[in-house]
Chains A and B, each alone.
Chain A
Amino acid sequence: GAGVSQSPSNKVTEKGKDVELRCDPISGHTALYWYRQSLGQGLEFLIYFQGNSAPDKSGLPSDRFSAERTGGSVSTLTIQRTQQEDSAVYLCASSLASNSHEAFFGQGTRLTVV
C-alpha cells in the first residue's frame, strides 16, 4: 500500500477482554515500531521489529502485551485481559532498515477500555 495502515481505527472493549491491533507497513520496509500515545502524553516506545525478529521488547508494559510479525510484513499487537489504563492511541510506524531513515506512521488505533 501507499502508506502504513492500521486497523481497526477505533476499538472499544470491555475490561478483561483481549484485543488485537493490526499494522500493515509500507512494502519493503523492514523496520517496524509500535508506540503508545496516551492522552496528553508523548510517544511511549513499546516494541521494535527488524524483519520478523524483535531485538527490543523493552517497552512492553507488562506480560499482557505481546506482538508478532510474520513474513516481514504485517504485525499484530495483542493485549490480553485489557485494563482501563491500556486506553490510548496505539501507533505503528515502519522504515527502511537503518535507524537513520524516516519512520512513516499510521493513523493509529484508538483503544478505549470500558
Chain B
Amino acid sequence: AQSVTQLGSHVSVSEGALVLLRCNYSSSVPPYLFWYVQYPNQGLQLLLKYTTGATLVKGINGFEAEFKKSETSFHLTKPSAHMSDAAEYFCAVSEKGKTSYDKVIFGPGTSLSVIP
C-alpha cells in the first residue's frame, strides 16, 4: 500500500528565501504524485502533479517539484518565498498501473510560515 511522509510538520523561512518542503513516498508501483496547498479557512487546491514524462514539474505561484525515483522523493521548492505562500502544504500519492479504482493518500502536511 502506498504511503506518504513529510519531514517537518512546520517550516519557517524568511521572505525572499528558498522554500523546500520535503515529501517521501512508498509505492509498490510507479506513482502519481501531487502537491496541494490549503490556505487558512479554505479548501485544498492543486499546486502541481507528476504523472509521466519530465520529472521536474512546474506548478502555480512559482512552485516546482522533482520526482526522484531512486530517492522515492517529490520535494517541493520555490526560489523566493512570498508572504502569501504561508499555508499548509500536502503531498499526495496514488498508484499508477492499477485500475482507476484507487484512492489518493495524503501526507500529514507541512505548515509553512514566512517571516517578513
Interface residues of chain A, those whose CB is within 8 Å of chain B, are 4, 31, 33, 35, 41-43, 45, 48, 50, 55-56, 59, 91, 93, 97-100, 102-103, 105-108
B18-26, B45-53, B61-69, B79-87 - the one binding chain A: B45-53
Q: Is A48's CB under 8 angstroms from B49's CB?
A: no
- Which residues of chain B from 29 to 74 have any CB-CB distance to chain A below 8 Å in the complex? 32, 34, 36, 42-46, 49, 51
Q: Which residues of B contact A (CB under 8 A)?
A: 32, 34, 36, 42-46, 49, 51, 90, 94-96, 100-109
Residue in A102, A105, A106, A108 whose CB lies within 8 Å of B49: A102
Would you call A55 and B45 a contact (CB within 8 A)? no
Q: Report yes or no: A100 in contact with B94, Cβ–Cβ below 8 A.
A: yes
**Measured between C-beta atoms, what is the minimum distance from A54 to chain B in Å?**
10
Q: A42-B107, A42-B108 are in contact. List 14 more A-B contacts (CB 8 A).
A: A4-B43, A33-B103, A42-B106, A42-B109, A43-B44, A48-B103, A56-B101, A91-B44, A97-B100, A100-B49, A100-B94, A102-B49, A103-B44, A107-B42
- Residues from chain B with a CB closer than 8 A to the CB of A55 are 101
Chain B residue contacts of A4, Cβ below 8 A: 43
With a cutoff of 8 Å between Cβ atoms, the chain A residues found around residue B105 in the complex are 45
**Measured CA separation A35–B94 after assembly (Å):** 15
Looking at the assembled complex, report how far the CB atom of B69 sits from the nearest CB atom of chain A, in whole angstroms.
17
B52 to chain A, nearest CB (A): 9
Taking CB atoms, residues of chain A closer than 8 Å to B103 are 33, 45, 48, 56, 59, 99
- Give which listed residue, A56, A99, A105, contacts B95 with CB less than 8 A: A99
Contact A107 B43 (CB under 8 A): yes
Residues in A whose Cβ lies below 8 Å from that of B34: 102-103
Select which of A33, A48, A91 is within 8 A of B43 by beta carbon: A91
> What's the Cα separation between A33 and B106 when bound, in Å?
12
**What residues on B are CB-neighbors of A33 within 8 Å?**
103-104
Contacts of A41 in B (CB 8 A): 108-109
Residues from chain B with a CB closer than 8 A to the CB of A103 are 34, 44, 46, 104
Q: Jot down 10 A-B pairs with beta carbons below 8 A, ordered by A.
A: A4-B43, A42-B106, A42-B107, A43-B44, A43-B106, A48-B103, A59-B103, A99-B32, A103-B44, A103-B104
